[in-house]
Amino acid sequence: MIWDTASGGLAPAAQGRQAAIYACGITPYDATHLGHAATYIAWDLLVRAWRDAGHDVSYVQNVTDVDDPLLERAARDSQDWRELADREIDRYRADMTALRLLPPDHLIGAVEALDVIEDFSGLLADRGALYELDGDVYFLRSADTAFGSVSRLDPKQMITLSAERGGDPGRPGKKDALDALVWLARRPGEPAWDSRFGPGRPGWHVECAAIATRYLGTAFDVQAGGSDLIFPHHEMSASHARVAFAGTGGEVFARRYAHAGMVRLGGEKMSKSLGNLVFVSELRLSGTDPMAIRLSILAHHYRTDWDWTDEGLTAASGRLDRWRAAVRAGSGGQGGVAAGPESGRPGSAGQVASGERVLAAIRERLADDLDAPGALACVDEWAGATLAGPAAGDEAGQAASAWLVRDAVDALLGVEL
């Protein structure tokens, strides 16, 4: 079960054997910070839980590799916007690999998907849901009777959030303050591509609506992002898709909308625009074990807002040391697959059961809205008991248990012990 923002309750994350998730990706104008890492680790837990449960998982992420903040940063630093994006995408991939996130099946940049976005926008035009304003093209939100069903906010709140998060509710000439930009006509000094709407570049929401539906189909299981994307971004993407695929019958866009809480620094949301950032790459360079970073994040439930602190990282390092010590102690100092229980030293029922209990408990906690803190507590309990001393005469059983816990923590929580 996962919390679904649109229905305001817990709901099964997948419907059948196939399970598909679209997670909004980065805008690559600065390095990956702990807030990004926390959000992507949440979806990584879902993907791991799905795989463990036997689903065929499709995982798609975009990269907003042309957008205002990227172009503004490139202009500020007098660098080529493509070079900036490429460098930050590489850094993002390296950070995610170090934190042991399973890569998406597709990581699609807006620029490489321009034809996909144009095709999708064409569907909106065919339905009469677009209009032009000084060469720019807007989506008529009145074309969608279900507009508002993701965020369930009232129009006043929507207008406030739209103004804060890249929208232009006050632009004169718009038919409705909440109509969203689908195609931005060429601006001097900015990149532009030819299209049926003239030279320009795509809007943000249509980018995700088009990429998600092209790679996952008209309907898929989960649309995921931080809670700052609930409105306008996820509302608009869903709305675009509902209009584009109206009349096709059946469900359109995501069945569930999953949102992660915001990671703060010093009480304020960690954000590129505020500049109060802790970068994953800098922590790694300073010698911090990526598994300690991952454990610091997993100590918080993904839906809560929380503060990144040095104390949290120190506590996670201590936990990592304890777990590793317990695996060493439990396995008699001979960890490693070759010497594992498969090599003909089956453990006794009692100790194996204790490993199996930990595995079952982690599975059960993750199935309950990705309760990582609950899963960590189960492993803590096992580590405490193991470090307290082996059951007399049961070293083989304890070793089997230790290997099972090590593998479960690796596969389900993504933490290498």
* Residue numbers at the binding site for ligand 5CA (CB under 6 A): 24-27, 35-36, 38-39, 62, 64, 208, 225-226, 228-229, 260, 262-263, 269-271
Q: Give how far the C-alpha of residue 53 lies from the chain's centroid of Cα atoms, to the nearest Å.
A: 20
Would you state the structure tokens that stand for residue 5, as one six-digit string?
A: 């923002």
Could you tell me the sign of the dihedral formed by the alpha carbons of 394, 400, 405, 406, in that order? positive
188 phi and psi angles, rounded to 5 deg:
-55, 135
Choice between 15 and 227, CB closer to ligand 5CA: 227
| Strand positions, DSSP E, 114-214 | 130-133, 136-139, 180-185, 200-202
In the complex, what is the shortest distance from the CB of residue 18 to ligand 5CA, in angstroms, rounded to a whole number?
23
Question: Residue 95 binds which entry of ligand 5CA, Zn ion, none, with Cβ cut-offs from 5 to 8 Å by kind?
Answer: none
Residue 208 beta carbon to ligand 5CA: minimum distance, rounded to whole angstroms: 5
Q: Is-contact 83 73, C-beta < 8 A?
A: no
Cβ atoms of residues 14 and 216 within 8 Å = no
Angle at CA of residue 106, ends 100 and 109, nearest 5°: 105
> In the complex, what is the shortest distance from the CB of residue 134 to ligand 5CA, in angstroms, rounded to a whole number?
25
Q: Which is nearer to Zn ion, 64 or 398 (CB)?
A: 64
Looking at the Cβ atoms of 64 and 354, the one nearer to ligand 5CA is 64
Shortest Å, Cβ 54 to Zn ion: 29
- Given ligand 5CA, Zn ion, none, residue 226, with its beta carbon under 5 to 8 Å by kind, binds ligand 5CA
Tokens at 289, concatenated? 């074990």
My answer on whether omega of the bond before 341 falls inside 30° of 0, hence cis, is: no
Between CA 43 and CA 1 the distance in angstroms is 13
Query: Residue 106: what residue type?
Result: H
Write down the least CB distance from residue 35 to ligand 5CA, Å.
Answer: 2
Q: How far is the CB of 37 from ligand 5CA (least distance, A)?
A: 8
**Comparison of 209 and 359: residue with beta carbon closer to ligand 5CA:** 209
Q: How many residues are listed for the chain in this entry? A: 417
- Residue 202 binds which of Zn ion, ligand 5CA, none (CB < 5-8 A, kind-dependent): none
Q: Which residues are at the interface with Zn ion (CB under 5 A)?
A: 24, 208
Nearer to ligand 5CA, 271 or 288 (CB): 271
Closer residue to ligand 5CA (CB): 53 or 94: 94
- Among 10, 64, 102, 65, smallest CA distance to 237 is for 64
